[in-house]
Structure 1
Amino acid sequence: MKINYNAPLICCVLLGAVTILSSGCKSYNDVAGRYTSKHIKANTNQVTAQIPETDELGYILFALTDVGQADNSILNKETPYYKEVMNSFAGFKNHKAVKLLNADLLNDAKSFNHFRNGLYAFTFNERNQLALKTDYRIDLNRVDFRRYAPLIHDFAVKSKFRKFYKEHSDVYTQIIQNQSVQLDMNSAWASMGKTYTEPFQSYKVILSPLMKGYSSSLAISSHGFRECLIFSESASKAMLYSATVQPVKGSNYND
């Protein structure tokens, strides 16, 4: 099954090495803000590129689903990183978290967007469990994360996902650094200006070595602070997995 997202494609602008394609996602209420003064102070007039651990886990879960395996428009399957993901996690394709996500995707293809939006609001706490970040909530997200949270936790533990993520930190860091030098408030607003009516005080560009399509954006407002999450795709395979970053040796962490 190929995921087709029918929302109008409003703008497509190249920011350095990353193509940001807004899909009119401001109609979604997947993530809401409950910003602290600390968050507002730290993020005002800031554009940051990120590869969040929870979203990367979500992309890996998607890659293991039957839907993800059949699709060639969302995932970049031509990189060493994708091959390492498959080598490390293919043995968990029948895990309950993967099966639940696959069932939701078959029922409603747009649930992919709600799923990854919601995962941005999560982090791993000191007990290695999924927990909401202090500054976000997901009360209106269409995905029931009460069902997903224990299954995702179980997947992360049994597959040793967090070890995989940590041991690929050099890959993630290089992608983030390559993108960060290209980003500023003006260029971020230039890419979003046809979708939203006024600039944001903060932009967060969410990246992944796995993604090549299905970009979107999400507007969040709380306590007078406006933030835009931009889930982007890469325009360069070289940036996704640079030849200067060597694949981790013996990367099958399932043993």
Structure 2
Amino acid sequence: MKKHLLPILLFLISLGSSAQEKVNFSEKFKKANQGKYKVEINEVKELLHIMIAITNSGKENDDMIQQEGQYYKDLRSHFKPYENEKIIKTFDSLMVASPYNYIFLTGNAISYNFKGNKLIKSDVFDFPAMGVANMKIDENPITRYKKEIEAFAKKAKFKKFYADHKQFYAGIISDYDKKANLGKQWKWLENNFETKKDSYIIFCSPLVNGLNYTGQFTNNNFTLIHMNLPPVDNFPNLTPLENELFNTRVMFTEIDHNYVHAPTQANKELINQVFAQRKTWVNEEADGTFAYPDPVKVFNEYMTFGVFLLYCQDHYDPSTLDKVTNDVIAVMTERGFPKMKIFTENLFKIRSAHPNEKIDKWYPEFLQQFVDKK
């Protein structure tokens, strides 16, 4: 259950930046996807997850790679003879150079599709992952290593492995439809924020563990939210309600980044003032806090988990809300965000004062509470 302790939730820099988005939403694509969401275990993306999983970096990091379960055992057995291939060593060197290369490799995998044993450029996604935090790239790594990836997939019989696990993948997708409540979350967020989105896609992999990320693509007056998430969980030691809350939190705290973003940007100057003292808000000794290098990113991480608690307030009884609130405070504190308790108290207070207003509207007043208490 390590993923709930040390998640690294990252925005792609392409979020909301038309200069960096490399996608093509045709009228046909828009019509097919408007108002809809889907869950997908993308073939090329799964190949990249597998290739990273068998690098030395992947084998040593059970927060990045889910190493429990039969699927991981099947993977290690099938791909063990190919762990020393040159392209695997290359990917390992990229992971050693920067963990953000995990995003660049897996995030850009959707820019290609398999046609037989060849990778064919996607008509929709051209260069979907160009930047993470303060790091940018100017070449799609899938394009750069296309021939090597094709050769590895053929030599390692990846397509057979993928086909042999199709039923397993279908079960993961079915579990999302039954247990994750994406439609309910989407509706609540659009009722409570001014932001509106056109479509959602969840890119899932059985190998994703703690490293989840989200972003949005905007093109031709159409906005698609993408989330990169692990399968939903069903821990036998938790009750059905506890499992529901856990799975909802993993997804919700990715989705709501895309709604928190706009009001945060509108109030960036005040956020920079309130969260200027980094050591007050961040325990830099905690793993993963490097992904939040400035006040805005720190605030957004507090806020995305805080908004999840507002969602719970509207959907669960007070006793459940109290338990979830305490759990979130504990998780956030362990992750390196020690002020979650006071943040949560101020959040519930401002929501109580403005129960029927969009969250965007009371952002300035909410932030002012922290100034007044100094």
1:102 shift after superposition? 0.8
Q: Say which is worse superposed, 218-227 or 94-103, in terms of deviation.
A: 94-103
Taking the TM superposition and a 5 Å limit, the aligned residue runs for 1:108-127 are 108-125=98-115, 127=116
SS of residue paired to 2:206: coil
1:84 shift after superposition? 0.2
Q: Which one has a larger percent strand, Structure 1 or Structure 2? A: 1
1:98 shift after superposition? 1.0
1:164 shift after superposition? 0.8
| Match 1:46 to one of 32, 36, 42 | 36
SS of residue paired to 2:46: helix
Question: Counterpart of 2:91 in structure 1: which amino acid?
Answer: L
Does structure 1 residue 150 correspond to structure 2 residue 141?
no
Is the CA contact 1:123–1:132 (under 8 Å) kept in the aligned structure 2? yes
Specify every segment of 5 or more residues in structure 2 that has no aligned partner in the other structure, as ranges.
Answer: 131-136, 237-374
| 2:65 alignment counterpart | 75
1:157 shift after superposition? 0.4
| 1:230 alignment counterpart | 227
Cα distance in 2, alignment partners of residues 218 and 50 from structure 1: 16
* Change in CA separation of 1:60 and 1:38 when aligned onto 2, cut-off 3 Å: same
1:173 shift after superposition? 0.3
Does structure 1 residue 137 correspond to structure 2 residue 126?
yes
Question: Counterpart of 2:174 in structure 1: which amino acid?
Answer: Q
Specify every segment of 5 or more residues in structure 1 that has no aligned partner in the other structure, as ranges.
Answer: 1-11, 13-19, 240-255
Question: Counterpart of 2:223 in structure 1: which amino acid?
Answer: R
Q: Which one has a larger percent helix, Structure 1 or Structure 2? A: 2
| Match 1:25 to one of 3, 8, 12 | 12
| Match 2:164 to one of 167, 171, 177 | 167
State which structure, 1 or 2, has the greater radius of gyration over its C-alpha atoms.
2
| 2:306 alignment counterpart | none
Is the CA contact 1:212–1:235 (under 8 Å) kept in the aligned structure 2? no
Q: Say which is worse superposed, 112-121 or 177-186, in terms of deviation.
A: 177-186
Question: Counterpart of 2:66 in structure 1: which amino acid?
Answer: N
Question: Counterpart of 1:129 in structure 2: which amino acid?
Answer: K
TM-score by length of 1: 0.77
Cα distance in 2, alignment partners of residues 31 and 101 from structure 1: 24
Does structure 1 residue 95 correspond to structure 2 residue 85?
yes
Is the CA contact 1:188–1:203 (under 8 Å) kept in the aligned structure 2? no
Cα distance in 2, alignment partners of residues 139 and 203 from structure 1: 15
| 2:331 alignment counterpart | none
* Change in CA separation of 1:235 and 1:166 when aligned onto 2, cut-off 3 Å: closer
Is the CA contact 2:108–2:141 (under 8 Å) kept in the aligned structure 1? no
SS of residue paired to 1:33: coil
1:123 shift after superposition? 0.8
Question: Counterpart of 1:50 in structure 2: which amino acid?
Answer: E
SS of residue paired to 1:38: helix
1:23 shift after superposition? 2.4
| 2:94 alignment counterpart | 104
Cα distance in 2, alignment partners of residues 193 and 166 from structure 1: 41
Question: Counterpart of 1:169 in structure 2: which amino acid?
Answer: K
1:52 shift after superposition? 0.4
Is the CA contact 2:14–2:21 (under 8 Å) kept in the aligned structure 1? no
* Change in CA separation of 1:197 and 1:217 when aligned onto 2, cut-off 3 Å: farther
Question: Counterpart of 2:171 in structure 1: which amino acid?
Answer: Q
1:148 shift after superposition? 1.3
Is the CA contact 1:74–1:212 (under 8 Å) kept in the aligned structure 2? yes
* Change in CA separation of 1:162 and 1:190 when aligned onto 2, cut-off 3 Å: farther
* Change in CA separation of 1:133 and 1:106 when aligned onto 2, cut-off 3 Å: same
1:32 shift after superposition? 2.4
Does structure 1 residue 62 correspond to structure 2 residue 52?
yes
Percent identical among aligned pairs is 21
Is the CA contact 2:9–2:211 (under 8 Å) kept in the aligned structure 1? no
Aligned residue-pair number? 219
1:89 shift after superposition? 0.3
Is the CA contact 1:193–1:199 (under 8 Å) kept in the aligned structure 2? no
